[in-house]
Chains A and B, each alone.
Chain A
Amino acid sequence: MNKLLREAKLWLIAIPILLWTLLPIYHIFLFSISTKDSAFSGALWPQHPTLRNFGTVFRQEHFYLHHFWEQIWNSLWIALGAGVITLFIATCAAFAISRLKVRGGRTVMNAALFTYFIPAAFLAVPMYKAMGSYGLLNSRWSLVLAMVTLAAPYAIWVLKQASDKLPWELDEAARIDGATPLQLFRLVYLPLMMPSLVAIGTYALLLAWNEYLYAFLLLSHENTIPLAVGLGHFLASDDSPWELLMATALIYALPPAAIYYAFRRYMVGGLTVGAVKG
């Protein structure tokens, strides 16, 4: 009886939170299957639901959608780039700090984490200036590098915590077996860190995929902007095509959802490593 009561209480909390979370997504969906005329009708289900909006988006048949495929490719390119580079830097750093015990490693990590004290928005202007100085403005690389800067400290920290949990004897056994540090990294460390690596790679990838502010600042050409910024352009006119905007938004939200779903096991396990004392 007590258990039932406890569960009932949990459900009472869970259901409103779930509804609250799903409501905006439902509205996106509602818009995306409505015709332009019925988009603002206020009904909970359109009178004539249609998938035509998606066709319009895929065929790029609207002024704001002329670069849809190009922009989604940019989003993918930038997200993958940021994910891979962040993962590479963070893994090497975590290995050096946690396993090789490089002198000053912890200081470097703490210094990197310290950057989170400064809100990302404040860093936007200096970042813009820096990218300008290196001639990277309007190149996808600028956003990739910016995202790596933002994601790396957290990624290093999480991976370092996960590394600390690997038994130290494994390194010693490998050393006695004749492994060089690089072989230890490749043959022992990487395979054992795989769940955390997947989690952190996904984190950096999604961070870059969802980024708007930096993308908006650093990239301005129709051919180089990611779709997130492209979506923002919809709001430039008085008569925005909301149904197309929402259809595009829904398409844009699918890859992260799919990635998260595919790696959900690693996400929960990987990101909470080090959160509590083992």
Chain B
Amino acid sequence: MATVAFREVVKEFGKTRVLHGISLDILDGEFVVLVGPSGCGKSTLLRMLAGLEDITGGTIAIDGRVVNEVDSKDRDIAMVFQSYALYPHMTVRENMGFSLRLRNDKPALIDERVKQAAKILNLEPFLHRYPRELSGGQRQRVAMGRAIVRDPKVFLFDEPLSNLDAKLRVAMRTEIKALHQRLKTTTVYVTHDQIEAMTMADRIAVMNEGRIEQLGEPLELYDRPANLFVAQFIGSPAMNIFDGVVRSGSVEALGVRWPANGGAVEGQRVRYGIRPEHLEPGSAGIPAQVVVVEPMGAETEIVARVGEVPLTVMMRGRSRAGPGERIFLAPEAAHAHLFDAASGERI
């Protein structure tokens, strides 16, 4: 177990700068998720921590030791790749024990550690099989097993669930989280899937264009997004956002008045944000016309138009409203998010 510290980390590929001075402290035993859209630099940051990419500027330290010039193998880390990267010519047992074999550990010790990891991951019946004889989920578990046997200071996961189908992804998510709770090893996990980030992380770093937009606990990011990017990225379905102007304590937008908290100046141009579940239809409020109704069983997603702008509404239970019908939306001021129209920062 160890802490990880990024200090003003910069990465350039030729003349293109992809990371613009990232600073991030990860605590001992913490599960931090780096999340962001493709090309935001999250995988590059992880690969720099792994020693697979050179560091252009700044420092990365593991357990207080700066590792900029330290070889991957000497950083005491283990990584799980998106493509699993299992050695196809080795059995599960050999794959998992490979790093220990390279360390010249005794065969008895290797065997014991592999068995231990296999037990944790329910891989015992598959130890003699080759990767090609395993399902996607089993392969992913072998990749995790390979990381566990080394008992590293830090686990690195690079989009490990992206190649799995939706159902298996949910199952593996739980497994990885349970594994972390059991081993308490510091973990850095990269994903583009905000649901993975929300469900697994102790803290999330939302990245965009080579910068960390916001760092915080999952619900903190959800409840108080620091800017428009985080507001739109975190949460599914995404937050409704539209332009408005502050008028006597509320926001005038789409031809109606929307309740808002203080903080904004009278007449200020803002972007008004409200999450779909905070727009539950009521008997009175802002009139909207239903466009599409998507029942999902426990809840119903409705796309309804206010003026010309379609808004997503999420309601618990089922809806009797049909397309073309009129409903009333009743947003609360406590759930409204205001962002400066020019800078996109939270007001």
Contact = CB atoms under 8 A, between A and B. Distances in A.
Interface string B105-118: 00000000000000
A177 interface: yes
Contacts of B102: 177-179, 183
A167 interface: yes
A176 B79 contact: yes
A187 B89 CA distance: 10
A169 B73 contact: no
B98 interface: yes
Interface in A5-55: none
A177 B146 contact: yes
Contacts of A66: none
A187 B94 CA distance: 11
Interface stretch (B80-88, B165-173, B272-280): B80-88
A173 B80 CA distance: 8
Interface string A147-191: 000000000000000000001011011111111000100011001
A187 B87 CA distance: 10
Interface residues of B, number: 23
Interface in A170-219: 170, 172-179, 183, 187-188, 191-192
B329 to A, nearest CB: 48
A173 B89 contact: no
Interface residues of A, number: 16
A178 B77 contact: no
A211 to B, nearest CB: 34
B146 A172 contact: no
A257 B98 CA distance: 40
Contact of A173 (B51, B71, B77, B81): B81
Interface string B91-108: 000000011001100000
Contacts of A177: 73, 98-99, 102, 146, 150
Contacts of A192: 88-89
A170 B79 CA distance: 12
Contacts of A173: 79, 81, 85-87, 146
Interface centre among A175, A177, A179, A191 (most CB of B within 10 A): A177
A176 B50 contact: yes
